[in-house]
Amino acid sequence: MTTSTLVVKDLTRRGLGLGENLGRWDLKYSPYLFVSPFFILFALVGLFPLLYTAWVALHAWDLLGGQGRWTGFDNFAFILQQRQFWVALRNTLSIFLLSAVPQLIFATAIAAALDTNLRNKTFWRMSVLLPFVVMPVAVTLIFGSMFGERYGLVNRTLADVGLGPIRWHTDPLASHIAIATMVNFRWTGYNALILLAGMQAISRDLYEAATIDGAGSLRRFFRITLPQLRPTIIFVIITATIGGLQIFDEPRLYDQNGLGGEDQQWMTMTIYLYKLGWTQLNFGRAASVAWMLFLVIVAIGLVNLAITRRIATGEGRTA
């Protein structure tokens, strides 16, 4: 009795009206209602902007004046002729590689260490995740003070061991290494936990069999752990790619001007997008950079896929 009045109240509140087929209607259509918030929001802040970005990119469009005339692919042609665009692309890829590769290697090593029969497992797992709660902006300010050219901790330590200073804010590669270090600080432990989860899903029987066959721990790692871990590694690489290529926070706060250095040494694609849109007030060009960035992400994704496929077949042959 109480339940049925509740049903009625519930349904009238949602305006479905009353009737004999209420229950069936509820069963059939409520799921759509339940999933609709995501789709409505995505349509508004995902799909519409996606299409609208294409529209804006094909027009002259500035921040103050709004939509201008149709210009076709002029914005794209302009962007592709800019030296800055190619420098931004180079920097983005360079920072991405300098962060993704060492991060994956370190994360795998940490995960392997965590996968042993440790005392205080939870303590060690939490300790590697600690950097994840520091906002990238804060990480950048902390590491920025260590990577100062004259007084930074890193250069001072280098001087102590008799090495010359590295020009962290002048030399492009040095600045990329500094920025990649910040990214690695925050994400290595996070990825280590994901890889650890993958490792723990590997059947212990495989290890046992290998141990009986006399395989040592290193051999077990390379022959069993790594091949079995492939899906997890691919997952980590894909998320690192999507996030890494959009990098903004670290290069933005690496110096006070936030535009990627005097000579665009660490100007990434997203910094370039920001610069075009919000300092030069040219939304048409900013939108075309957004599309180029999207294409780069898709391209790198395909390269990733090709490489991991090749590795997979290579393994098949040796096994």
Partner 1 sequence: MSAVSAFHRRRAEARIAQRPGALVYGFLTLILVAAVFPFYWSFLIGSGDAGTLSDTSMSWIPGANFIANARSVVDNESVNFWRALGNSIIVSTVVSASVVFFATLAGFAFAKGRFTGQRGLLVFVIGTMCVPTQLSVVPLFIAMSAFGWTGTLGAVIVPGLVTAFGVFWMTQYIAQALPDELVEAGRIDGASMFQTFWRIALPAARPAAAMLGLFTFIMSWTNFFWPFIVLNQTNPTLPVALATLQANYFVDYSIVLAGVLLATVPLLLLFIAAGRQLVEGIMRGAVKG
Applying the rule CB under 8 A, the residues between 122 and 161 that interact with partner 1 are 122, 124-139, 141-143, 145-146, 148, 150-151, 153, 156
Q: Distance (Å, rounded) from C-alpha 7 to C-alpha 270?
A: 51
Is residue 309 involved in binding partner 1 (CB under 8 A)? no
Q: Which of residues 189-248 bind partner 1 (CB under 8 A)?
A: 189-190, 193-198, 200-201, 204, 207-208, 211-212, 232, 235, 242, 245-246, 248
Nearer to partner 1 among residue 150 and residue 317 (C-beta): 150
Q: Distance (Å, rounded) from C-alpha 130 to C-alpha 24?
A: 50
- Quick note: the x/- pattern for partner 1 over 26-55, rule CB under 8 A, is xxxxxxx-xx-xxx-xx--xx-xxx-xx--
Nearer to partner 1 among residue 28 and residue 309 (C-beta): 28
Give me the least distance between CB of 317 and partner 1, in Å please.
28
- Report which of 274, 269, 314, 316 is spatially closest to residue 293, judged by C-alpha positions: 269
Contacts for 272 with CB less than 8 Å, ≥ 6 apart: 84, 85, 88, 260, 289
Q: Distance (Å, rounded) from C-alpha 14 to C-alpha 104?
A: 50
Q: Is 117 exposed, middle or buried (0-12, 13-18, 19+ CB in 10 A)?
A: exposed
What 8-state DSSP symbol labels residue 254? S
- Quick note: the x/- pattern for partner 1 over 60-99, rule CB under 8 A, is ----------------------------------------
Is residue 297 involved in binding partner 1 (CB under 8 A)? yes
Q: Are 258 and 252 in contact (CB under 8 A)?
A: yes
Nearer to partner 1 among residue 80 and residue 314 (C-beta): 80
Q: Which of 113, 299, 302, 306 binds partner 1 (CB under 8 A)?
A: 113
